[in-house]
Amino acid sequence: MEVDEVVCLPRLSRVAVCGGTHGNELSGVYLVRELLKVKKGVMEKEEEQEEEEPLSVLKVLSNPRAMQQCRRYVDTDLNRCFTHIVSLSPSGLTSGTVPYEMIRSRELNAMLGPKGRSGAVDLVCDLHNTTANMGLCLIAYSDCDWICLHIFRHLQRKMPDIPMRYIHFEVSNKESYSLDSVGKHGFAMEIGPQPHGVARSTVYTAMKAGVQHMLDWVCFFNSGTLFEGESVDVFTMIKHIDYPRDSETRNITAAVHPHLQDRDFCPLHPEDPLFQTFSGETLRYKGNEPLYPFFINECAYYEKGIALSLARKRRVVIPTIRVQTEQEQAAHVQELASEEEE
Amino acid sequence: MEVDEVVCLPRLSRVAVCGGTHGNELSGVYLVRELLKVKKGVMEKEEEQEEEEPLSVLKVLSNPRAMQQCRRYVDTDLNRCFTHIVSLSPSGLTSGTVPYEMIRSRELNAMLGPKGRSGAVDLVCDLHNTTANMGLCLIAYSDCDWICLHIFRHLQRKMPDIPMRYIHFEVSNKESYSLDSVGKHGFAMEIGPQPHGVARSTVYTAMKAGVQHMLDWVCFFNSGTLFEGESVDVFTMIKHIDYPRDSETRNITAAVHPHLQDRDFCPLHPEDPLFQTFSGETLRYKGNEPLYPFFINECAYYEKGIALSLARKRRVVIPTIRVQTEQEQAAHVQELASEEEE
């Protein structure tokens, strides 16, 4: 047998767990509140075992004002505010006319970033809920972030009873818009179905377990564990489909078809039922190839004009990884510093 | 066999079907929009068959501003604004400081009421959704409104696949607060589970069928059909239970227990699991008698301090009814007129 090449990656010293980025997605709100209470409790057990260089876990309630009003956002969607976060001047953002979430995104960038720089936290795990029947998903911008993909495989193995998928939004680093893009690595942990504004105990428990296993993995990784390469199914987002709408009023005129509702990640074939109009007519999928639907009938996407998203499923081979040795890490830091100077 | 006494009740000439009383409960919003499109369509078939005195069906979008923002309400819950609607002076309600829903409730009272007077519509059917797993419920203030109870039995027979219950809120006519209290008869038709801000096709279809069967029944009744007496299960609301909360912040500290979640109308016994705290502890029901939970984990009731409501189940005997003859009706109208003069 050949020995595969081992990819050596920098230590993950600072991890951020964020909840309430959308103020009405309650699992993350209550989980982060709980983690903030537990100063030296279960979630940081590993930290105490690791005597040198403990793992720093930042627990962040991202959008307190939206949380207080139990709304997704106050002025604008916070999780779309991080695209050009670096190029914005701080001085222009103190007046009362600036959307609250623009100001808050700068605070979060100062806390967890700066995005794209060496000072940023190593990993951002941003907690979300969806009304769609998606189980637990990690959503990331990369299909070659070995840290995110290995964490995903770890969670899949540790939580075999929960349907779990890795969703890849093919967006360049420059165009990435979400809070998790502020970290060196990052993903959204999305769990559903759960109505926004509601906390279901099973969903909360799944999220708590997911976060615990993620932190465990980081500790294993930092302590030198070798993670074997393997292959992983990745769902790459291809396009969105809007609801049928009245051409004048823009009101929707159909709901997701009962045959499609709740069937996230089951292949949708050409001519399969897609919508049922409010007068009872069935509208069919007119695409040319079978694709995998997800975010089917997500509440927050009505206003974004998305009834569902469609993905292509691919198998990605991920390499064996381990943490860099101290020597490798020192060389890496020097390399990064010289890049930033340029 | 003895012939039971037949109760003769006034004709139901004007019926109101209202949607969007809560702007984010979408089944009613889309159903009433659809009914407004169908000027002479399916829903008023009966009207055309009945040559004299056709049934007048008012279709009302109750809270257009809340609908536009896809929120339950703008300033205050419209469906709690109808208690003292009669005693309010119209002149005091034009200034900008008055909550929008207070103004709108007066408009609706002018359109469908006045509440408690002879000019009010005969029947109000107000369409609602809940995040709780309640199936289809009729919610009314009376357990002896034979019209509402016979409509309920008709719907139960016509829609055997949908779990259906009659909920009775024991509140005097004077204290009744909801839009449906404006009609001479009235009920809320509540269907769930459905996240607020989402339209699920199966829920929409059930509501459409429920409204159609209700209108059919009214036409049968008006045309002289005799409806046999029988007995009906009624759930009378006894009390509400709030979430456990932090004594300082008032934030909730537990979710509905997984064993109770989605088990609306299944008996809850003393010592059954009630909540699961966010740290993992089980809290149990400390009542003295088994009761029937409903509105379990309803999204909109977090702010009202209600995690679930509890009901007692009773069997109510409803009499045989038929519409009054023209002579009986004339006598009845005279009676009402002299009552109002007093």
User: Are A166 and A149 a contacting pair, CB within 8 Å?
Assistant: yes
Q: Across the interface, do B204 and A252 touch by the CB < 8 Å criterion?
A: no
The B residues from 249 to 268 touching A (CB cutoff 8 Å) are 251-252, 255-258, 261
**Tally of CB atoms within 10 A around B102:** 16
Burial grade of B221 (CB within 10 A; 0-12, 13-18, 19 or more)? buried
**A154-166 CB burial, b ≥16 within 10 A, e <16:** bbbebbeeeebbb
Mean pLDDT across A61-83? 96
Q: Across the interface, do B202 and A258 touch by the CB < 8 Å criterion?
A: yes
Distance CA A291, CA A280 (A): 25
Nearest CA in chain B to A204: B278
Q: Is A154 annotated as a binding residue?
A: no
* B262: alpha, beta or left? (left if phi > 0; alpha if psi -120 to 50): left
Q: Across the interface, do A201 and B256 touch by the CB < 8 Å criterion?
A: yes
Distance CA B60, CA B125 (A): 10
Please name the helix (run of DSSP H) or strand (run of DSSP E) that holds residue B235, with its range, or none. strand B230-241
For the stretch A245-282, pLDDT in tens is: 999 999 999 999 999 999 999 999 999 999 999 999 99
Angle at A170 between CA A24 and CA A270, to 5 degrees: 90
Whether B35 has its CB under 8 Å from any CB of chain A: the answer is: no
User: Are B108 and B182 a contacting pair, CB within 8 Å?
Assistant: yes
Which of the residues of A are catalytic? 190
Q: Across the interface, do A302 and B258 touch by the CB < 8 Å criterion?
A: no
- Using the predicted structure, report yes or no on whether residue B23 has a pLDDT greater than 50: yes
Q: Is B332 annotated as a binding residue?
A: no
Contacts of B49 by beta carbon, 8 Å cutoff, 6+ apart: B219
What percentage of chain B exceeds 90 in pLDDT? Answer: 83
Whether A55 has its CB under 8 Å from any CB of chain B: the answer is: no
Question: Which of A201, A279, A299 minimises the CB distance to B258?
Answer: A201
Distance CA B214, CA A307 (A): 31
Whether A80 has its CB under 8 Å from any CB of chain B: the answer is: no
Whether A22 has its CB under 8 Å from any CB of chain B: the answer is: no
User: Are B283 and B260 a contacting pair, CB within 8 Å?
Assistant: no
Question: Of B32, B35, B278, which to mutate for an interface test with A (greatest number of A Cβ within 10 Å)?
Answer: B278
Q: Across the interface, do B201 and A251 touch by the CB < 8 Å criterion?
A: no
Whether B75 has its CB under 8 Å from any CB of chain A: the answer is: no
**Pairs of residues, one from chain A and one from chain B, whose beta carbons lie less than 8 Å apart:** 91
Lateral strand order in the sheet of B308-318: B56-61, B14-19, B123-129, B185-192, B135-140, B164-168, B230-241, B308-318, B292-294
- Chain mean position to CA B31: 16
Q: How far apart are the CA of B191 and the nearest CA of chain A, in angstroms? A: 15
Find the Cα–Cα–Cα–Cα dihedral B187, B192, B195, B201, rounded to 10°: -100
Burial grade of B107 (CB within 10 A; 0-12, 13-18, 19 or more)? exposed
- Tell me if residue B232 falls in helix, strand or coil: strand
For the stretch A2-42, pLDDT in tens is: 456 899 999 999 999 999 999 999 999 999 999 999 764 44
Angle at A77 between CA A75 and CA A81, to 5 degrees: 105
More confident position, A87 or B12: B12
- Using the predicted structure, report yes or no on whether residue B45 has a pLDDT greater than 70: no
pLDDT of res. B330: 84
For the stretch B63-122, pLDDT in tens is: 999 999 999 999 999 999 999 876 555 555 555 689 999 999 999 999 999 999 999 999
Q: Is A22 annotated as a binding residue?
A: yes
Question: Which of A34, A198, A276 minimises the CB distance to B131?
Answer: A198
- What is the greatest pairwise CA distance in chain B? 68
| Average pLDDT in chain B | 92
Q: Across the interface, do B195 and A196 touch by the CB < 8 Å criterion?
A: yes
pLDDT of res. A50: 45
Nearest CA in chain B to A25: B299
Angle at B156 between CA B151 and CA B157, to 5 degrees: 100
Mean pLDDT across A183-203? 98
Please name the helix (run of DSSP H) or strand (run of DSSP E) that holds residue A101, with its range, or none. helix A100-112
Closest CA to A10 of A334, A326, A341: A326
Distance CA B96, CA A162 (A): 51
**Which ipTM score applies to this complex?**
0.92
pLDDT of res. B1: 39
pLDDT of res. B88: 56
Q: Across the interface, do A256 and B201 touch by the CB < 8 Å criterion?
A: yes
For every residue of A58-81, DSSP letters joined together read EEEE--HHHHHHTSS-SSS-GGG-
Instruction: Taking the CA atoms of A140, A144, A145 and A146 in sequence, report the sign of the dihedral they define.
Output: positive
Angle at B163 between CA B160 and CA B164, to 5 degrees: 90
Contacting residues of A for B70, CB less than 8 Å apart: 302-303
For the stretch B161-195, pLDDT in tens is: 999 999 999 988 778 999 999 999 999 999 999 99
Contacting residues of A for B193, CB less than 8 Å apart: 195
Q: For chain A, how many residues are written? A: 342
Output the pTM of the full model: 0.93
- The beta strands (E) that lie in chain A are given as 6-9, 14-19, 56-61, 123-129, 135-140, 164-168, 185-192, 230-241, 254-256, 273-277, 282-284, 292-294, 308-318, 320-323
User: Are A130 and A298 a contacting pair, CB within 8 Å?
Assistant: yes
Whether A87 has its CB under 8 Å from any CB of chain B: the answer is: no
Q: How far apart are the CA of B258 and the nearest CA of chain A, in angstroms? A: 6
For every residue of A208-238, DSSP letters joined together read HHHHHHHHHHHHHHHTT--B--EEEEEEEEE
Q: Which two tokens stand for residue B135?
A: 């199936």
Mean pLDDT across A297-311? 97
Distance CA A27, CA A211 (A): 12
pLDDT of res. A329: 82
Q: Which two tokens stand for residue A140?
A: 């990331």
Look up tokens 């200034």; give the residue: B95
**Within 13 Å and on the Cβ side, how many CA atoms surround A267?**
8
Whether A27 has its CB under 8 Å from any CB of chain B: the answer is: no
Contacting residues of A for B252, CB less than 8 Å apart: 30, 199
Q: How far apart are the CA of B209 and the nearest CA of chain A, in angstroms? A: 12
Instruction: Taking the CA atoms of B155, B157, B158 and B162 in sequence, report the sign of the dihedral they define.
Output: positive
Contacting residues of B for A281, CB less than 8 Å apart: none
Instruction: Place B24 in a pLDDT band, splitting at 50, 70 and 90.
Output: very high
Closest CA to A30 of A132, A158, A112, A127: A127
Q: Across the interface, do B200 and A131 touch by the CB < 8 Å criterion?
A: no
User: Are B296 and B308 a contacting pair, CB within 8 Å?
Assistant: yes
